[in-house]
Structure 1
């Protein structure tokens, strides 16, 4: 595999959990091409948790990276020109530039986000929108993918974004395997709401995780809102409300995302026809599968299989844009 260099740029006041996410996901593994380094302007970096860390790389390594990731940091003070210039240079050279949480403030200050859609932690979204009017702020999403520029909301959304990058680079099977190692959900679509008003079940109510697990084992069946609600023992209206409160998305959108994820795994790991993949994942016909693949991934099932299928003679090299060909 072609080596893909990932530089995680730790700014002063870096949030340790935000920093840990990309360092864990992009650490070297036999099945991935990533070569990851923590970099900083100065070797010693203060964190929000009261301890300091020592970075192994400097801005020169950031300049040589294929992907630059900026974790969240606080307080959101003006950054040194050397840092802003390095981020702007990485973007100008077509490198992939990514932020987690308030790391979006650094990208915006460097001009990387001008004219693009972006997001950040919901607690800072008003400040972000006010300070950077040239950025089109998406307030209620987990992450935003603008091709070679990606931003995520707070903390756990960084896991979703980093797994999304792995999925784009190497396919669903590798991304799901890393997710299992992290005991994380294998895929949450970026369009889900980042702030869920009731993230845990209210007293006396049971979580709908059992129904979601049941559905994941029956994706090839005709699962409707009525079927899901019946399994949960709820009215359709109550089920819809509870499901959206727990997941930040609707049952049918969640089901579509699950079916697309299953289709990606089948295309990667089997030689089944596109028609059979469509049936097995619950999307019915090859035409319907192609339609949703085009909408969600900007490619076709056949092109996706050529890039990530098990019969591919060599592992796909990571590129900022991921699989976008027809």
Structure 2
């Protein structure tokens, strides 16, 4: 009786660009290591075969060049240093566009999203990148709908993920779609990783209130930060700044990127985060401390801004003894 041929392995290419971050390169290379439960074949490639200077003191010797993109079913673009300065070489951009045109999925880890954005394939689509670079990505590629809160975005043929560890979330997501939940969960256990992570990357940003730009209204911001447990309104903030509410609101947005009341809410959530990390106060007590009144109110705004709950946040970030 004729033997049944083995199914073709899924093909993954990891495209290493100049300044590539080592963890970003290693994640897809390790997650998709060939084994019975993960039927993939991986090739690590560059703009050309040979030595590629990486970031963080490491370099890579790659056996394949851009022809590997034509071989692959999925191409991963790991994050790299200084993505907001220069675009990848034209040959890399062209190869990514050609691969996508043949039906290859393109997946970026962290700042690899800049390389995908340079192709134009993210125009009009949602995408994400490391939280430190979300504004730079939006500024450099205004046609991309940058979502700064999520761990990854799946737009079908183009996928993007946040900081390095989010590359694991993205790889497990691709595994679930290709070979099923059981294989994905098995891979997660092997990596000692969560099959699903709650919330988005917003919870990992050090502070949700951005650093102030310039000194305009700095005194009013400091005044408000000392009174977050009290009622704060647009009128009271404008009165302290000695301008009209309309003028205050317009200039405040120019300084911070947020309306005054959005800024106040994020400041309250930041203080709540610190109390969840450093104290044993209950959610209800913390809600009162930061001027949100009830635990339900805190939970609502906490999830809206950070994509997770106060309890899940405390479980993740509270300092142990």
Q: Shorter-chain TM-score: what band?
A: 0.5 to 0.7
Q: Superposition pairs for residues 1-326 of structure 1, below 5 Å?
A: 1-42=7-48, 43-76=50-83, 77-188=86-197, 193=202, 195-196=204-205, 197=207, 198=273, 202-205=277-280, 236-237=295-296, 240=299, 248-250=307-309
Task: Return 5+ residue gaps in structure 2 as ranges.
Answer: 1-6, 208-272, 284-293, 314-321
Q: Does the aligned pair in 1 maintain the 2:126–2:155 contact within 8 Å?
A: yes
- TM-score between both structures, scaled by the size of structure 2: 0.63
Give the conservation status (yes or no) of the 8 Å contact 2:128–2:146.
yes
**Partners of 1:133 and 1:37 in 2: CA distance:** 33
- Quote how far apart the aligned CAs of 1:138 are: 1.3
Counterpart CA distance in 2 for 1:104 and 1:41 is: 17
- In the superposition, the TM-score normalised over structure 1's length comes to 0.63
Judged with a 3 Å threshold, the aligned counterparts in structure 2 of structure 1 residues 84 and 126 are, in CA distance, closer, same or farther, namely same
Q: How many residues align?
A: 228
CA gap 1:130/1:44 in 2 versus in 1, 3 angstroms: same
TM-superposed CA distance for 1:85, in Å, is 0.5
3-state SS in 2 of match to 1:73: coil
Deviation (angstroms), 1:12: 0.5
Tell me: CA distance 1:145–1:194, structure 2 relative to 1, closer, same or farther (3 Å): farther
State the Cα distance separating 1:242 from its structure 2 match: 11
Note the C-alpha offset of 1:56.
2.5
Q: Does the Cα contact within 8 Å between 2:162 and 2:201 map onto a contact in 1? A: no
Structure possessing the higher relative contact order (Cα contacts under 8 Å, 6 or more residues apart): 1
Residue aligned with 1:49, SS: coil
Deviation at 1:236, TM superposition (A): 4.9
Per-residue deviation, 1:158: 1.0
Cα distance 1:252–1:147, how it changes in 2: closer, same or farther (>3 A)? farther
User: Which protein is bigger by CA-based radius of gyration?
Assistant: 2
SS of 2:167's equivalent? helix
RMSD: 3.2
Q: How far did 1:88 drift?
A: 0.7
CA distance in 2 between counterparts of 1:3 and 1:127 reads: 37
Q: How many angstroms apart in 2 are the aligned matches of 1:146 and 1:71? A: 18
How far did 1:120 drift? 0.8
Cα offset for 1:52?
1.1
Moved runs in structure 1, 4+ residues, more than 3 A? 189-201, 235-245, 250-254
Distance 1:241 1:23, change over 3 A: same
Distance 2:162 2:274 in 1: 16
